[in-house]
């Protein structure tokens, strides 16, 4: 078996998705050096960090954090691009698991229910997976909480958010999400998962739908913040 694994790695070498270096046997998606250099936010150490402030006055979000900063032109930008558009869902799972290791002793790991931001069914069918769900599955290797991909659905096919301002993004996302089983949500603490947050409009729309359906505490995690 080991021979065939080595042969496969020789024919199809597995490389770091950031720097392109060949990965060691114990590494997944990102090499150890790039992992150490990841531009972490460490927002989970600050209850009033810039990400949670995005939702002040917009939605009752108690805590929010992202794993790393998204900078245009950064070598780490490719991680999100390959995850969303390159078909590499393993990036989401791997980074979710790594992120969970840094959050395991925080309130983020104690929610009753984990919910990934849903894609519209047409978009998910075209992409083949929901990148937020892959991040959630990686997080849940260590969190081991209930993961529900059915309770929050996307009912509208919104136009692209690219090049839209904050208010236009809000209008674009308003009433795009619906809770299917509010009785399964009432009073439960929820951890909402997404890939990247810019203005927070998508997450605000999801948060409002969940809160209106009666969820308890609501916290948010994203891989990156732009």
Intra-chain end-to-end CA distance of the chain, in Å: 43
Same domain, 31 and 60: no
Cβ contacts of residue 52 below 8 Å, gap of 6+? 43, 61, 62, 63, 64, 65, 220
Same domain, 82 and 100: yes
Q: What is the pLDDT of residue 175?
A: 79
Q: What is the pLDDT of residue 171?
A: 64
Same domain, 20 and 101: no
Please indicate, yes or no, whether the overall pTM of this predicted structure exceeds 0.85.
Answer: yes
> Which CATH number belongs to the domain containing residue 152 in this structure?
3.40.50.2020
Same domain, 9 and 71: no
Q: What is the pLDDT of residue 6?
A: 45
- Report the C-alpha gap between 15 and 30 in whole angstroms: 8
For 22, the domain range is 1-37
SS3 assignment, position 31: coil
Same domain, 179 and 190: yes
Same domain, 30 and 106: no
Same domain, 199 and 160: yes
Q: Given the DSSP bridges, would you call strands 152-154 and 177-179 parallel, antiparallel or unpaired?
A: antiparallel
Residue 217 Cα to chain centre, angstroms = 18
Q: What band does 10 get if pLDDT is binned at 50, 70 and 90?
A: very low
Q: What band does 156 get if pLDDT is binned at 50, 70 and 90?
A: confident
pLDDT at residue 5 tops 60: no
Section 187-210 average pLDDT: 96
- How many other C-beta atoms can be found within 10 angstroms of the C-beta atom of residue 218? 24
Average pLDDT, the chain: 90
What are the tens digits of pLDDT across the range 66-115? 999 999 999 999 999 999 999 999 999 999 999 999 999 999 999 999 99
Total domains in the fold of the chain: 2
Of 86, 29, 67, the residue nearest 196 (C-alpha): 67
What are the tens digits of pLDDT across the range 54-70? 999 999 999 999 999 99
pLDDT at residue 165 tops 70: no
Same domain, 26 and 56: no
Same domain, 86 and 20: no
Tokens 């209106």, located at residue: 212
Same domain, 47 and 144: yes
SS3 assignment, position 153: strand
Same domain, 21 and 83: no
Same domain, 32 and 18: yes
Q: What is the pLDDT of residue 7?
A: 40
């Amino acid at each position: 078996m080991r021979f065939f694994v080595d042969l496969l790695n020789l024919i199809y070498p597995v490389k770091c998705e950031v720097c392109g270096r060949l990965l060691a046997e114990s590494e997944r998606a990102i090499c150890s050096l790039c992992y150490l250099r990841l531009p972490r936010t460490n927002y989970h150490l600050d209850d009033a960090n810039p990400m949670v402030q995005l939702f002040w006055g917009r939605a009752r979000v108690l805590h929010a954090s992202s794993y790393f900063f998204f900078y245009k032109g950064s070598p780490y930008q490719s991680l999100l691009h390959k995850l969303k558009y390159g078909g590499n869902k393993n990036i989401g799972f791997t980074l979710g698991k790594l992120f969970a290791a840094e959050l395991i002793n925080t309130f983020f790991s104690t929610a009753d229910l984990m919910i990934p931001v849903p894609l519209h069914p047409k978009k998910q069918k075209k992409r083949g997976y929901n990148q937020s769900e892959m991040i959630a599955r990686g997080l849940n290797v260590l969190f081991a909480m209930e993961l529900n991909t059915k309770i929050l659905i996307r009912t509208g096919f919104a136009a692209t958010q690219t090049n839209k301002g904050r208010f236009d993004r809000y209008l674009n996302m308003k009433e795009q999400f619906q809770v299917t089983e509010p009785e399964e949500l009432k009073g439960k603490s929820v951890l909402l998962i997404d890939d990247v947050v810019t203005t927070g409009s998508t997450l605000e729309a999801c948060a409002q739908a969940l809160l209106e359906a009666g969820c308890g505490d609501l916290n948010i995690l994203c891989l990156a913040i732009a």
